Amino acid sequence: MGNLLAPVNASLNLTSFLLLLAGYRQIRLGNREAHRRRMIGAVAASGTFLVFYVLRFSLTGSHRFAGPEVARSIYLAILFSHMVLAVVVLPMVLRLLWLARRERFSEHRRLARWTFPIWAYVSLTGLVVYAMLYHVFGFV
């Protein structure tokens, strides 16, 4: 069951990324309500991912990358940056939600300029890690 969650998690990462892009586009067009809906969707997709990731990890544990050493080095560099930035971005996203809820939009905008690229990077590197581990090189 645990490894069946991996493609679900990848789909949630992709969904989050696409909603982030759509939310960014909507705010650039001045459509706050459409922006709000898409960003709440991105938060929901990322939150669901986190729950399923913890479940998958509790069922299967960690996986050792099975590719060649050069690819392993690249994989580990991507994985490390992904993990560190995933931890960093969580409180940033929570703060953005709080600021938006309180209609403190100038502060929200300033923080979002940093949060958006980090969150997008985390979503995309999650997909890269998944592809490398489950489709390109495999694991042991």
Task: Spell 12-50 as b/e; 16+ CB within 10 A means b.
Answer: bbbbbbebbebbbebbeeeeeeebeebbebbbebbeebe
Instruction: Decide if 78 contacts 121 (C-beta within 8 A).
Output: no
87's CB contacts (< 8 A; 6+ apart) are: none
DSSP reduced 3-state for 124: helix
pLDDT at res. 110: 98
Instruction: Decide if 48 contacts 8 (C-beta within 8 A).
Output: no
CATH number at residue 92: 1.20.120.80
d(CA 39, CA 16): 9
Beta bridge partners of 65: 139
Confidence of residue 98 (pLDDT cuts 50, 70, 90): very high
Convert the pLDDT of each residue in 69-94 to its tens digit. 999 999 999 999 999 999 999 999 99
Domain carrying residue 106: 2-136
Is the confidence at residue 140, as pLDDT, over 90? no
Is the confidence at residue 107, as pLDDT, over 90? yes
107's CB contacts (< 8 A; 6+ apart) are: 99
pTM for the model stands at 0.93
Number of domains comprising the chain: 1
Q: What is the mean pLDDT of the chain?
A: 97
Instruction: Decide if 42 contacts 5 (C-beta within 8 A).
Output: no
